[in-house]
């Protein structure tokens, strides 16, 4: 594989670029604590985290990762203080309004996963516009999880299958894992090989519960705004040292 010359010799030696994870999930955590450590409002942490998000997505594409899924706003995040939610929404709106300009020249396909029904009609139209504008790109596939929860995603799939069973299109006793996967938000995509969570927390927090059944997990004490390309390379390097048996021996 030809590696872009943006990587130093040292960086190129960290990972085996011929044995990369195909799909990486990232729980972007620690923005609020990053801001608190600096005596700043939580909104400043989210703004810093948004810049890290853009850098890391670019780095992942340059490395050769095929799919990245980022946890941007969960179904539980609605329980946060109203001013923090408003700040997060403003950042998301900015990304939707200006993201295409910032992505200019990058072969990235955007796909939003989660339930968009909680957002305004104008917000939903912006989501659809960005997806439509990038749908023919063939480089990195970027899943942005908005109003997303792993449990609600599974419920969404089950409801679809129940509807088919009621209509007589499928028998309940014939339902398989593949049928459930067909109606997940990531239908047709490879499951994440690696899920990264910075910030010192050691849990999935309702992120890709079905798809992550056999994902390798990588945790770091680094807060998300401080996460760098070197952290990403280290996560991939550690992943490559693991023996993935998928329940076998």
d(CA 108, CA 136) in angstroms, rounded, equals: 9
Helix%, strand%, coil% for the chain, nearest 5 = 50, 15, 35
Contacts of 100 (CB under 8 A, 6+ apart): 130, 133, 134
CA–CA separation, 98 and 168 (whole Å): 46
Residue 98: active-site member = no
Tell me which of 5, 13, 16, 29 is the catalytic residue. Answer: 29
Q: Report residue 63: phi and psi, to 5°.
A: -65, -35
Q: Torsion over CA of 106, 209, 126 and 121, rounded to 10 degrees?
A: 180
Tell me if residue 29 is catalytic: yes
Active-site entry in 19, 31, 77, 221:
77
Residues annotated as catalytic (active site), given as ranges: 29, 77
């Amino acid at each position: 594989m030809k590696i872009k010359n943006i990587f130093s010799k040292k960086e190129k030696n960290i990972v085996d670029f011929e044995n990369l994870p195909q799909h990486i999930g990232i729980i972007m955590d620690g923005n609020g604590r990053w801001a608190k450590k600096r005596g700043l409002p939580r909104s400043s942490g989210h703004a810093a985290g948004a810049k890290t998000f853009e850098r890391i997505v670019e780095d992942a594409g340059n490395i050769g990762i095929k799919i990245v899924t980022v946890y941007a706003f969960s179904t539980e995040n609605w329980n946060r203080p109203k001013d923090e939610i408003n700040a997060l929404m403003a950042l998301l709106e900015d990304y939707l309004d200006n993201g295409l300009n910032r992505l200019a020249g990058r072969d990235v396909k955007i796909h939003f996963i989660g339930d968009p029904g909680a957002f305004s009609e104008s917000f939903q139209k912006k989501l659809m516009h960005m997806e439509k504008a990038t749908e023919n790109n063939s480089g990195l596939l970027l899943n942005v999880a908005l109003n997303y929860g792993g449990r609600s995603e599974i419920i969404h799939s089950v409801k679809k299958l129940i509807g088919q069973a009621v209509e007589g299109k499928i028998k309940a006793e014939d339902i398989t894992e593949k049928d459930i996967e067909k109606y997940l938000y990531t239908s047709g995509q490879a499951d994440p090989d690696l899920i990264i969570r910075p910030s010192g927390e050691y849990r999935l927090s309702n992120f890709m519960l079905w798809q992550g059944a056999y994902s390798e997990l990588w945790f770091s004490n680094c807060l998300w705004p401080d996460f760098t390309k070197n952290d990403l390379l280290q996560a991939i390097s550690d992943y490559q040292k693991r023996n993935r048996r998928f329940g076998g021996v």
